[in-house]
Amino acid sequence: MLRWIEPVTTNKSAVMGELGKTITFKAKLTDSVGTPRLGVRILFTATPRPDNMALDSTHMYPSVTHTDSSGIAEVTVKVSETMKNGESIEVKASTKSV
């Protein structure tokens, strides 16, 4: 099971970010009994809304990583200084191997 653990948790679906600041997102991958999965490839995407153009490595890093011994993978996303009120960035984590 892949789930966000920081700063988005099961109780929240979004977090506020300040213009020009970087936010670190963490996702945790476990098996069906809750054991962390080590070394699984995680793909991250970050898409501004409503523009729908995926962010490049200037604003999101990394786009691909592997889970650590705790089953955790992380990505940093920089909130653009040009974002306007009501705009958002959708961040997704996925894996095709699990």
- Phi/psi for 58 (5° steps) reads -65, -35
Question: How many domains does the structure of the chain reveal?
Answer: 1
pLDDT tens digits along 9-41: 777 788 888 999 999 999 999 999 999 999 999
Q: Supply the range of the domain harboring residue 7.
A: 2-94
Beta bridge partners of 3: 28
* Distance linking the first and last C-alpha atoms of the chain: 8
Per-residue pLDDT, 98: 52
Point out the least confidently predicted range of 6-15, 34-43, 62-71, 74-83.
6-15
pTM of the entire structure?
0.87
Residue 55 sits in a domain whose CATH number is 2.60.40
